[in-house]
Amino acid sequence: MVKTVPVSTTDVTFIDLTSEDLARVRDLTETVWFSVTPGKSLQDLDDEVDLRHARGAVRAGGPLPGEAEGAATPLMAFYSAFDMGLTAPGPAGELQRVPMDGLTFVSVHPDARRRGVLRAMMTDHLHRVHDRGECAVAGLHASESAIYGRFGYGCASVEAKLTLGRGTELKAPAALAAEADAVTTHVVTLDGEPALAVLHEAHLACAGTTLGTVTRPEALAQRWFAFTDHPKARGSKEPQRLLLARRDGQVSGYAVFRRESRWEAGSPAGEVSVAELGARDDATLLALARRLVDLDLTARTTFWSRPVDDPVAWWSGGPRGGGMQLFDALWIRLVDVPRALAERGYACGAPVDLVLEVTDEVCPWNSGRWRLQIDGDGRAEVSGTGAEPDVVTPVAALGAAYLSGRTLLSQVSTLGVTERAPGAVRALSRAMRADREPVPAIGF
Ligand SMILES: CC(C)(COP(=O)(O)OP(=O)(O)OC[C@H]1O[C@@H](n2cnc3c(N)ncnc32)[C@H](O)[C@@H]1OP(=O)(O)O)[C@@H](O)C(=O)NCCC(=O)NCCS
């Protein structure tokens, strides 16, 4: 589909892309991100980009000074997306996996910036996701937190970074520590299909029991670490490794980590960086964390992408000791409001029956009134209605509350959620809460 989008000072046309366009994609992304991965080939880029969901923007007009006559017009913008899965709250304390479109590579050429190209791009993307009908929810990581709220995204999970010194004692209740002692862990080098298949199995197993998890697309599972850990870009650093946990013979957790060798004043001072840490249960989490803070020749371990209620932080004495830092993590956008609200579950208890009025400029099909009926088991039905609203909300507030990491009630003051019937916001806010904080999403 080719669609021309008028933007304020120039016209760009969004086009589908093929492998023939990868050189243009590389030129644009290297210009926008001013970063080059040594050794990365067009074939690597081809592996990394899901061309079914990739779109480019070309400008109207002939070549500019310095551009070759007859050469393909440079891309002015580019985006791509992955087919991912998201672990959302399910009914009555369970979890529910929902499909999620994960936007990535969002890039606008410096010559075209601040003329509305991103706005046109987001409209193009969200309308296409809606037209495809595969996902009711879209997600992304933001390079800067001020960008995406205006397009109806809400920040749904918060990422904590934690650094613990080598040998930090992780104090857990005795019963849990005894369970952790029964978990076995071993190190696997991520250098071939069997190891990557085991990693993907662990990744999916942990996603089923961990709120907020975003899963890699099945089709890319074997190649994902090739593009996040390119051998030529890595230089002398060790490749990423897998620490695999087993409990009762079953894979119960994993960590993806890398050590960086360093010596200070004749003593080992290596650093461990843990990019992903997943566990089906807290005993496995404890066993993995204990190994990761006690690797030989290292001085400290940094855990990235931890939830704000991370047990590892509390086992180590609390967030202060680990110098916890917080960042916005996954931004969620409801592309199809009634379907997205019906796909997740709610807390069990008193049934909720209310009318939401949703405002949504970018996806107008969401704007309007929706009756949300949640039964005592936490299952919802959503239907259009003409009845007077109990709650008026921008679509971004529903994205922010989707994983329960931020309550709907708190968005009365932050995103302008408005109550029309007394107690309605609190009732829905409580129904949307889960028992644990969501983990932040993997990088994508
Ligand atoms: C961020 C980027 C995509 C914006 O593209 P753009 O075409 O300049 O954006 P637009 O002109 O369509 O701006 C749309 C709106 O977003 C705002 N905006 C754009 N970039 C912003 C930023 N970095 N911070 C805050 N607001 C921003 C604009 O002011 C405008 O606001 P308005 O609608 O209220 O007037 C572009 O600057 C870029 O490629 N940056 C480097 C790569 C990057 O950060 N990509 C995002 C990856 S998640």
**Two tokens at 83?**
């087919």
Domain boundary among 300, 328, 356: 328
Residue 313 lies in a domain: yes
> 414-437: buried (b, 16+ CB within 10 Å) or exposed (e) per residue?
ebebebeeeebbebbbbbbebebb
Report the Cα 209 to chain-centroid distance in Å: 17
Confidence label for 8 from pLDDT (cuts 50, 70 and 90): very low
Classified as helix, coil or strand, 325 is strand
Dihedral sign computed on CA atoms, order 411, 414, 415, 419: positive
Mean pLDDT lowest for which of 40-44, 234-238, 266-270, 377-381? 234-238
**364 and 286, same structural domain?**
no
Residue 214 lies in a domain: yes
**149 and 180, same structural domain?**
no
pTM over 0.85: yes
**397 and 308, same structural domain?**
no
* Model pLDDT for residues 228-255, shown as the tens digit of each residue: 888 888 888 899 999 999 999 999 999 9
Count how many residues are written for the chain.
Answer: 444
Reply yes or no on whether 444 is catalytic: yes
> How far separated are the first and last CA of the chain, in Å rounded?
26
The answer, yes or no, to whether residue 5 has pLDDT greater than 70, is no
Of the candidates 148, 303, 346, 402, the residue annotated as catalytic is 148
- Pairing state between β 75-89 and 95-108: antiparallel
Percent of the chain at pLDDT above 90? 89
Q: What is the rounded CA–CA span in Å between residue 346 and residue 349?
A: 9
* C-alpha 121 – ligand 1 centre gap (Å): 11
**107 and 26, same structural domain?**
yes
| Residues of the domain holding 220 | 159-328
* Model pLDDT for residues 69-119, shown as the tens digit of each residue: 767 789 999 999 999 999 999 998 999 999 999 999 999 999 999 999 999
Domain boundary among 102, 122, 157: 157
**282 and 184, same structural domain?**
yes
**171 and 145, same structural domain?**
no
User: What's the pLDDT at 269?
Assistant: 96
How many domains is the chain built from?
Answer: 3
Domain boundary among 310, 328, 346: 328
User: What's the pLDDT at 9?
Assistant: 39
CATH of the domain at 26: 3.40.630.30
**137 and 31, same structural domain?**
yes
* C-alpha 326 – ligand 1 centre gap (Å): 23
* C-alpha 117 – ligand 1 centre gap (Å): 8
Sheet containing 158-165: give its strands across: 184-189, 241-247, 250-260, 270-279, 298-306, 158-165, 325-328
**63 and 89, same structural domain?**
yes
Q: What is the rounded CA–CA span in Å between residue 437 and residue 309?
A: 6
User: What's the pLDDT at 7?
Assistant: 53
Mutate which of 114, 327, 444 for ligand 1 pocket (most atoms within 8 A of beta carbon): 114
**283 and 205, same structural domain?**
yes
